[in-house]
Structure 1
Amino acid sequence: MLAAIASILPLLMPFNADQGECIKVNEIPPIPSVAREEYLTEHGITPIIKTEVKEKVVYKERVVYVDRDTKETVKTEVKDIPKKETKQVTKAESKKESQPVSNQSQNFEFTAYSHEPSEAQSHRYNGKIVTATGKDVTDSIYYQGYRILAVNPSVIPYGSILSVSVNGQSFKGIALDTGGAIMSRSNRIDLMVTDTNEAMGFGVQQGSISYVRKGW
């Protein structure tokens, strides 16, 4: 082994005094990695070792460093990805998602507006009745099982689901719509009803709401 190394040492020299040329590290012929490393260290040469990630697994990362010249593995590292950080993120997200919505009751004034096509001209688009939030309510005064409510979105955010008590009834509604009369008031909610007669008969009533969900 020593004889073999000695025979190629002239080829490994980083500097040729006779020709005045520098020999680049990547031009040094490959030799067994231990001897190569000892030689380079002895002569103050820092080899450029290109690395590549061979494998990644959940919570552990194994990195294999390969000398591209000799194709030999220089070293292997196994790194733990801290599980603690992952748990903290999950807990924070869970906490954010589960933040309770205040269910304190708030008093509001209620009116009603008609779903009839003849009374919904401002909401008609291509023959369909569409709310201010773009929901098609042509065939129903309900959306996903909730009564449709017109609100002032600066007071009650669109998408909010409300528990409503008014006119001796309790039901859940969703804030999907608005209107000029509602936008100018901070204490009024408009309930979509089937027809004009029902809307007129409803009149103005006092009721209360509490949030089931605030916003989308």
Structure 2
Amino acid sequence: MLAAIASILPLLMPFSADQGECIKVNEIPPIPSVAREEYLTEHGITPIIKTEVKEKVVYKERVVYVDRDTKETVKTEVKDIPKKEYEAPKQGTKAEPKKESQTVSNQSQNFEFTAYSHEPSEAQSHRYNGKIVTATGKDVTDSIYYQGYRILAVNPSVIPYGSILSVSVNGQSFKGIALDTGGAILSRSNRIDLMVTDTNEAMGFGVQQGNISYVRKGW
């Protein structure tokens, strides 16, 4: 037993911190014992304490902000969060119901299409201070497009404002956005009015059958 202790103790600072004297191994009580600690304290010897370094785990939360229209990343935020917060279930929280804009149906629906003119002389009901403004307040004075989408007048109780639609009519396929409405449209549940550049084009368009599917429903 003493031989085993003798092989270990030289590694545990076997000299007195005060006197520098060599301490005989057989004078130090066996390990562990209260007497050993008292002995070390009495002779000014500080025992070596081995500490174990454990792996530090850092939990991070990344929040990405995306432009709803362009789908481009606007900003990314990364922050550290406590392990308990990361692993613990959210208390008192319920799953939020999906917003209407998130409920998208790819099923094609048939609609009747007409066209209305963007010409100032034909848009008196939409003119504000010399500008042509849609029912949703979008300035479309200079274009029949909004953010790259064709402008559509709809019955908002049927097709919510802000909806992006994939449209197929008159042998053409394009994407349009529901930004406008009108008296003739509000009285119908199956009609969409397509904004065109002038009266002649609107008259020539007439009434046509087409179909739509939702890319995005509502804002």
Over 3 Å counting, the alpha-carbon distance change for 1:82 and 1:118 in structure 2 is same
Identify unmatched segments of 5+ residues in structure 2. Answer: 85-89
Question: Is the contact made by 1:164 and 1:207 (CA closer than 8 Å) also made in structure 2?
Answer: yes
Describe the shift of the 1:202–1:80 C-alpha distance in structure 2 as closer, same or farther (beyond 3 A). closer
Of 12-21 and 108-117, deviating more is: 12-21
Runs of 4+ in structure 1 displaced over 3 angstroms?
Answer: 1-84, 87-100
> Which structure: greater strand fraction?
1
Q: Is the 8 A contact 1:51 1:66 kept in 2?
A: no
Deviation at 1:101, TM superposition (A): 1.2
User: Pairwise mapping of residues 17-166 of structure 1 onto structure 2 (< 5 A)?
Assistant: 101-166=104-169
| TM-score after normalising by structure 2 | 0.57
Q: What are the within-5 Å matches in structure 2 for residues 173-192 of structure 1?
A: 173-192=176-195
Q: Answer with 3-12 or 121-130: which moved more.
A: 3-12
1:52–1:66 CA contact under 8 A, matched in 2: no
Q: Matches of 1:28 and 1:66 in 2, distance apart? A: 70
Q: Is the 8 A contact 1:55 1:62 kept in 2?
A: no
> Number of matched residues?
214
Closer, same or farther: CA 213–66 of 1 in aligned 2, 3 Å = closer
Q: Is the CA contact 2:153–2:195 (under 8 Å) kept in the aligned structure 1?
A: yes
Give CA-to-partner distance per residue, 1:159-205, whole Å, 9 cap, x none.
Answer: 00000000000000000000000000000000000000000000000
Shift of the alpha carbon at 1:107?
A: 0.1
| Cα distance per residue 1:76-129 (max 9 Å; x no partner) | 999998868xx8999967987995611100000000000000000000000000
The Cα offsets for residues 3-39 of structure 1, whole Å up to 9 and x where unpaired, read as 9999999999999999999999999999999999999
Higher percent of residues as helix: 1
Retained in 1: the 8 A contact 2:12–2:47? no
The whole-number CA distance in structure 1 between the counterparts of 2:135 and 2:148 is 18
RMSD: 15.7
Q: What is the CA–CA distance in structure 1 between the aligned matches of 2:206 and 2:69, rounded to whole Å?
A: 87
Structure 1: runs of 5 or more not aligned: none
The CA deviation string for residues 14-66 of structure 1, in whole angstroms up to 9 with x for no partner, is: 99999999999999999999999999999999999999999999979999999
Distance 1:149 1:66, change over 3 A: closer
Q: Percent identity?
A: 97
Contact preservation (8 Å) 1:31, 1:70: no
Cα distance in 2 between the residues matched to 1:211 and 1:37: 79
Query: Closer, same or farther in 2 for the Cα pair 1:8/1:35, shift >3 Å?
Result: farther
Determine the C-alpha separation between the residues in 2 that align with 1:193 and 1:73: 33
Cα 1:175–1:28, aligned 2, differ >3 Å: closer, same or farther?
farther
Segment drifting more, 173-182 vs 100-109: 100-109
